[in-house]
Amino acid sequence: MTGPAFTPAAGRIVLCRAGFEGEAAGELGTRAAAAQIAGFARASAGSGIASFELHDPAERSTLTQATCWRDLIFARTAWDLRGRVQNLPARDRVAPLLEALHMLQLRVSALQLEHADSDAGRELSGLARALTAPLCGALRCAGILHPEAAGTLHVLLTAGDTAWLCAAAPGAAAPWPGGIPRLRFPSAAPSRSTLKLEEAFLVLMNEDERTRWLQPGMRAVDLGAAPGGWTWQLVRRSIRVAAVDNGPMQPALLDSGLVEHVRADGFRYRPAQPVDWLVCDMVEQPRRIAQLLAQWLAEGRCRRALFNLKLPMKKRREEVQLCLGLLRDALPDIELRARQLYHDREEITVLALSRP
């Protein structure tokens, strides 16, 4: 039987929705190429993991900057890859991990055991939980885990006997394990889609922005609103909503006194006065949605917009770039934040901020 083997590595690793590894790896490769960094992107279909490995480890910090988690669309989180440990024995996985970490000379203030959001990855969740306490204890004793150090060590289990050692500086990766914010479905909400908007507020905006941009008394339009999951998130923040959809809205939402149900075509409807928010979850061709949103923003009909681009096609990254390009052409100063959220399926969510 072969013993544990540690292989140092330098690169980036991201977690994504299973089935989108190609898009996630493509993003890493494109950004690395734009920064003139040599290496190779890797994606194994269905794994929920994509990576980029450097030819020259000296380019590590340039790569980290070029592939910042906040700027990636298909990554739920991103870490620096430092190495892999294989052939971990089931009777003691901690000792070889500790030995590898000694070799890397890492010091961190937090440890997170991770697994991918794939069929194989989810099977490792029990092992990840079980390993956390003993590994934490061992790292503390060894001085690797120390409150005065900075950053987080992410130990990504890819099999029962294999772990990838990854690190992230403070604030450089998603703060949630696996990059997945755990949100509970509110029982009063009319549809599970409500979690998409809640997650978008959490992931695409910081706390200060949420406080300033989601204030009671603001006005919003929700295109494709029925049955009202997104409207519900706005109403819960005391925002008035024109809910545009020919379909039925949840009666309790209409009773709130904050919702006007407009039975109209979302592509034709325009509000009498500019609104603070336009949100849009209509199932339509992404470029039609992008054109509509570009019009609203360019005509000053809304200050901020949050919308879904559905991506049932093969060339998903190309379609996203085309749609974001349409918005940038219409408003050269626009700020766009786009992400495939955990609650997004074959789609991404975009926050568009027009600058006055």
114 versus 222: smaller Cβ distance to ligand SAM: 222
Q: Name the segment binding ligand SAM (CB under 6 A); options: 17-25, 42-50, 168-176, 222-230.
A: 222-230
CB neighbours of 241 closer than 8 A, spacing ≥ 6?
219, 220, 221, 222, 225, 231, 234, 235, 258, 259, 260
Residue 156 pairs with which residues in a beta bridge? 114, 164
Query: Considering beta carbons, is residue 176 or 269 the nearer one to ligand SAM?
Result: 269
Q: Which of 196, 310, 314, 315 is catalytic?
A: 310
Q: Write the interaction track for ligand SAM spanning residues 171-210; mark x where CB under 6 A is met and - where it is not.
A: -------------------xx-xx----------------
- Please give the residues from 231 up to 270 whose contact with ligand SAM meets the rule CB under 6 A: 244-247, 265-267
Q: Is 286 in the site for ligand SAM (CB under 6 A)?
A: no
Handedness of CA 278, 279, 282, 288 (dihedral sign): positive
* CB of 228 vs ligand SAM, minimal distance in Å: 5
CB of 279 to ligand SAM, least distance (A): 8
Q: According to the binding rule CB under 6 A, does residue 214 interact with ligand SAM?
A: no
Q: Does 40 bind ligand SAM (CB under 6 A)?
A: no
Q: Which stretch binds ligand SAM (CB under 6 A): 29-37, 169-177, 211-219, 221-229?
A: 221-229
- What minimum distance in Å lies between the beta carbon of 267 and ligand SAM? 5
Question: Does residue 310 have an active-site annotation?
Answer: yes
Given 282, 324, 341, 353, the residue binding ligand SAM (CB under 6 A): 282
Does 229 interact with ligand SAM (rule: CB under 6 A)?
yes
Of 154, 8, 26, residue with least CA distance to 78: 154
Does position 226 interact with ligand SAM (CB under 6 A)? The reply is: yes
Looking at the Cβ atoms of 100 and 203, the one nearer to ligand SAM is: 203
CB of 7 within 8 A of CB of 84?
A: yes
Interface residue with ligand SAM among 4, 179, 228, 286 (CB under 6 A) is 228
Residue 281 interacting with ligand SAM (CB under 6 A): yes
- The footprint of ligand SAM on this chain (CB under 6 A) covers a number of residues equal to 22
Closer residue to ligand SAM in complex, CB, 83/266:
266
Please identify, using beta-carbon distances, which residue of 43 and 225 lies nearer to ligand SAM.
225
Q: Does 324 bind ligand SAM (CB under 6 A)?
A: no
Three-state secondary structure along the chain? Answer: CCCCEEEEEEEEEEECCCCCHHHHHHHHHHHHHHCCCCEEEEECCCCCEEEEEECCHHHHHHHHHHCCHHHCCCCCEEEEEEEEEECCCCCCCHHHHHHHHHHHCCCECEEEEEECCCHHHHCCHHHHHHHHHHHHHHHHHCCCECCCCCCEEEEEEEECCEEEEEEECCCCCCCCHHHCCCCCCCCCCCCCCHHHHHHHHHHHCCHHHHHHHCCCCCEEEEECCCCCHHHHHHHCCCCEEEEECCCCCCHHHHCCCCEEEECCCCCCCCCCCCEEEEEECCCCCHHHHHHHHHHHHHCCCEEEEEEEEECCCCCHHHHHHHHHHHHHHHCCCCEEEEECCCCCCCEEEEEEECCC
Q: Which of 230, 277, 296, 342 forms a contact with ligand SAM (CB under 6 A)?
A: 230
CB of 108 to ligand SAM, least distance (A): 39
Q: Do residues 246 and 234 lie in contact, with contact meaning Cβ atoms separated by under 8 Å?
A: no
CB of 305 to ligand SAM, least distance (A): 14
Binding segment (CB under 6 A) for ligand SAM, from list 19-27, 131-139, 201-209, 223-231: 223-231
Beta bridge partners of 159: 162
Query: Which residue is at the shortest CB distance from ligand SAM?
Result: 229
Residues in contact with ligand SAM by the rule CB under 6 A? 190-191, 193-194, 224-230, 244-247, 265-267, 281-284
Catalytic residues: 310
